[in-house]
Chains A and B, each alone.
Chain A
């Protein structure tokens, strides 16, 4: 299965967990033994054919991979420009890409003899993916989720509980993903001996950003193979939404050395200058949050600002350190779209293609309004359809 991974020249991060100037491990001393052990175990697992076989077998038999690369004929006709393909992560078991990573990390947790799993979640998709993996492997599961998100993503709270996970509502700060992450880290600091923290995006201290990216690269590896089969060539554009940035890096990473334009789309909330935004790269500056140095929304005193997005999974004032590096280096272009633009995209994709996307995912599609006019009919655009929208029906109905 390893053979399907395409070797890259792009060689971030370095052995200290830095992507250029970003990343690192800014954690209390108490967590150093845990992340050191994780780093060592992950290195071993990565080179262990048995581990890789088990991981890929689960992705195939349980998650339902490979996911399809669907030609979006109606959406293509709508814009009348480049051909649009959709990488169908919405078809993964549990309805989003998050499960690729949850499966990888739970296998690591088992190798390390940990019995208790904790996770943070925003949209609830990572929480559901983790609860699913824990049910499958009979492990104790505790998920931290902001009180605002337990309301707007109630369906996912019910799913987690049904599968036996304990969902702990977090009422501090903005009551969203940032605060859920704080609480998960506090739990980890307190219970580090028996607890494995399954982080849900390419954030946190080294080795998480690298490891989570690698567990998601299957998205890009498959896409590359599939587009070569269908079109006999690589795409001209890749587009994905960016919260922490895991679905984006999963798709982008195998294309880093290729002549492909890459676009990440952040959540602007009410607008990048509204003060109510989650556009971290567009509006932020470098700082340290949740264990790594990366772009951040913070005030002049270095206090973290409350983010806002209609989408719980993008409602986060930070971003994975590799994205900060890719932004500075210019390899990836980052843009932001508003809540309203994302809602329009939900409608368009639902009506043109019969696919209801997650609100997170809709941000990537909203950027087509800007991108498509620049493209030509002989070009190819691939979007990462990171998740399906069932969980968002309440918010969507309220905003239609």
Chain B
């Protein structure tokens, strides 16, 4: 069984799963594997491993910055695949590769899917591939049995929510506010979210629902993910790393933050 699905089956009824987004190769190429293993020990249930792109047009300054750093340090899809292979020697945490389509296209879609299968990737999130353009990778991903996870937003119609549900496997990614990643505060987010999640609940019936964009703390997460199966933290985590790297024991500070996100203080 797919590791993502298994994770949701094991989830306690009142538990919220935590998915963490981390840019591969940020803050440096050597730390990514350690960070992910440490995230798991501190409460992460799913990892979204960001494949950096020079022009991430759905992302705010934080993820742009981390992408630029990783590209500067020489990140590549081959290196990202090696990172996953290394993690798989120690851990069965679900890993989703998340990124824009151009680097994947350049790498070769079949080769990308084959290699992802080989190293133990569990899903793909491709923010610039809406369902109408999924033909570019759908068949290749299907051949190796790796699901594509689609996004829905508050302005997504009911029909498209159902379509995203039908096409996704593992969970549906709910973008909680219209906006680029990291753009809004938790307070601002939570109000609009309830109606959105209700609508998601009516239209997404096959898959669990994970909600993200703008979550910065345990309290944000509990509020925002009240009616969802879990939450996603990205920019806040990158900001935390940016704050403490390369102080002594910087990873411990990051892991404390991760622990607090999942369990509170």
A residues near B (Cβ < 8 Å) are 16, 24-30, 32-33, 172-173, 178, 182, 185-186, 189-190, 192-193, 286-291, 296, 298, 300-304
B101 near A288 with CB under 8 A, answer yes
Which 5 A-B pairs rank lowest in CB-CB distance, beginning with the nearest? A302-B106, A302-B103, A303-B54, A28-B58, A190-B179
Which of B76, B102, B152, B175 is A288 in contact with, Cβ under 8 Å?
Answer: B102
Our pick among B55, B71, B178 for the contact of A189 (Cβ within 8 Å) is: B178
Asked if B53 and A28 sit within 8 Å, CB to CB, the answer is no
Contact pick for A182, options B57, B71, B127, B152, CB 8 Å: B57
Distance of A304 Cα from B133 Cα, bound (Å): 21
Complex Cα distance A97/B164, Å? Answer: 41
> Smallest Cβ distance from A188 to chain B, in angstroms?
9
Which of A186, A193, A286 is close to B57, meaning CB atoms less than 8 Å apart? A186
Q: List B residues at the A interface (Cβ < 8 Å).
A: 53-55, 57-60, 64, 71, 75-77, 100-107, 127-130, 132-133, 150-153, 155-157, 160, 164, 175, 178-180, 183
Bound CA–CA A30/B157 (angstroms) = 10
Indicate if the CB atoms of B101 and A193 lie closer than 8 Å. Answer: no
Please indicate the chain A residues that have their CB under 8 angstroms from the CB of B60 in the complex.
186
Q: How far is the CA of A67 from the CA of B64 in the complex (A)?
A: 44
A304-B54 in contact (CB<8A): yes
Closest B residue to A32 by CB, please name it: B130
Q: For the complex, give the distance between the alpha carbons of A186 and B58 in Å.
A: 6
Check A172 against B178 for contact (C-beta < 8 Å).
no
Q: Which residue of B lies closest to A318 (CB)?
A: B55
Tell me how far the C-beta of B250 lies from the nearest C-beta in chain A, rounded to whole angstroms: 26
Q: A28-B128, A29-B164 are in contact. List 7 more A-B contacts (CB 8 A).
A: A28-B130, A30-B155, A32-B130, A190-B183, A290-B55, A302-B102, A302-B107
Complex Cα spacing A173 to B128, Å: 20
Q: How far is the CA of A166 from the CA of B143 in the complex (A)?
A: 50
How far apart are the CA atoms of A65 and B67 in the complex, in Å? Answer: 47
Given A30-B153, A33-B157, A298-B102, decide whether A304 and B55 contact each other with a Cβ distance below 8 A. yes
Least Cβ distance of B140 to chain A in Å? 16
A287 and B106 form a contact (CB under 8 A)? yes
CA distance A94 to B58 in the complex (A): 33
* B208 CB to nearest chain A CB (Å): 18
Residues of B within 8 A of A33 (CB): 155-157
Give CA–CA (A397, B160) in the complex, Å.
55
Q: Quick one: given A30-B155, A288-B128, A290-B57, are A172 and B64 in contact (CB under 8 Å)?
A: yes
| Complex A-B: 15 CB contacts under 8 Å | A24-B132, A26-B129, A28-B57, A28-B151, A29-B152, A33-B156, A186-B59, A186-B60, A186-B180, A192-B155, A192-B178, A288-B101, A301-B76, A302-B106, A303-B71
B residues within 8 A CB of A173? Answer: 54-55
Chain A residue, CB-CB nearest to B132: A25
8 Å CB contact of B180 from A29, A172, A189, A300 = A189
* Residue pair B180, A296 in contact (C-beta under 8 Å): no
Choose from B104, B127, B183 the contact partner of A28 (Cβ within 8 Å). Answer: B127
How far is B75's CA from A296's CA once the two chains are assembled, in angstroms? 20
Contacts of A24 in B (CB 8 A): 132-133
Q: Which residues of B contact A190 (CB under 8 A)?
A: 178-180, 183
Whether A26 contacts B101 by the Cβ 8 Å rule is yes
Question: Closest residue to A285 on the B side, CB-wise?
Answer: B106
> Cα distance A296–B71 when bound, in Å?
18
**Which residues from chain B contact A32 at a C-beta distance below 8 Å?**
130, 156, 160
Please report the C-alpha to C-alpha distance between residue A377 and residue B202 in the assembled complex, in whole angstroms. Answer: 72
CB of B96, distance to nearest CB on chain A (Å): 16
B106, A182: Cβ atoms closer than 8 Å:
no
Residue contact A301 to B153, C-beta cutoff 8 Å: no
Q: Nearest chain B CB to A174's CB is how many angstroms away?
A: 10
Q: Cβ of B103: which chain A residues have Cβ within 8 Å of it?
A: 301-303
The CA-CA distance from A172 to B59 in the complex, in Å, is 13
Docked CA distance A178–B64 (Å): 14
Alpha-carbon gap, A172 to B100, bound state (A): 18
Query: Which A residue's beta carbon lies closest to that of B71?
Result: A303
Shortest beta-carbon distance, B153 to chain A, in Å?
4
What is the bound-complex CA distance between A84 and B155, given in angstroms? 52
Please tell me if the beta carbons of B55 and A289 are within 8 angstroms of each other in the complex: yes
**Chain B residue contacts of A26, Cβ below 8 A:** 101, 128-130, 133
**Closest Cβ neighbor of B155 among chain A residues:** A33
Closest chain A residue, CB of each to CB of B161: A29
Q: In the complex, how many angstroms separate the beta carbon of A184 from the nearest chain B beta carbon?
A: 9
Residues of chain A contacted by B178 (CB below 8 angstroms)? 30, 189-190, 192-193
Q: Within 8 Å CB of B157, what residues of A?
A: 33
Of chain A, the residue at the smallest CB distance from B152 is A29
In the complex, the answer to whether A16 meets B55 with C-beta atoms within 8 Å is no
Given contact pairs A27-B130, A182-B57, A192-B178, A301 touches B106 in the complex (Cβ within 8 A)? yes
Q: Which residue of A lies closest to B157 (CB)?
A: A33
The residue in chain A whose Cβ has the minimal distance to the Cβ of B53 is A303
The CA-CA distance from A189 to B153 in the complex, in Å, is: 11
Contact between A27 and B128 (Cβ–Cβ < 8 Å)? yes
Residues of A within 8 A of B133 (CB): 24-26
Q: A30-B153, A189-B58 are in contact. Are A300 and B106 (CB under 8 A)?
A: yes
Give the chain A neighbours of B104 by CB distance below 8 A.
Answer: 302
Q: Give chain A nearest CB distance to B136 CB in angstroms.
A: 8
Whether the Cβ atoms of A301 and B128 lie closer than 8 Å is no
Q: Which residue of A lies closest to B99 (CB)?
A: A302
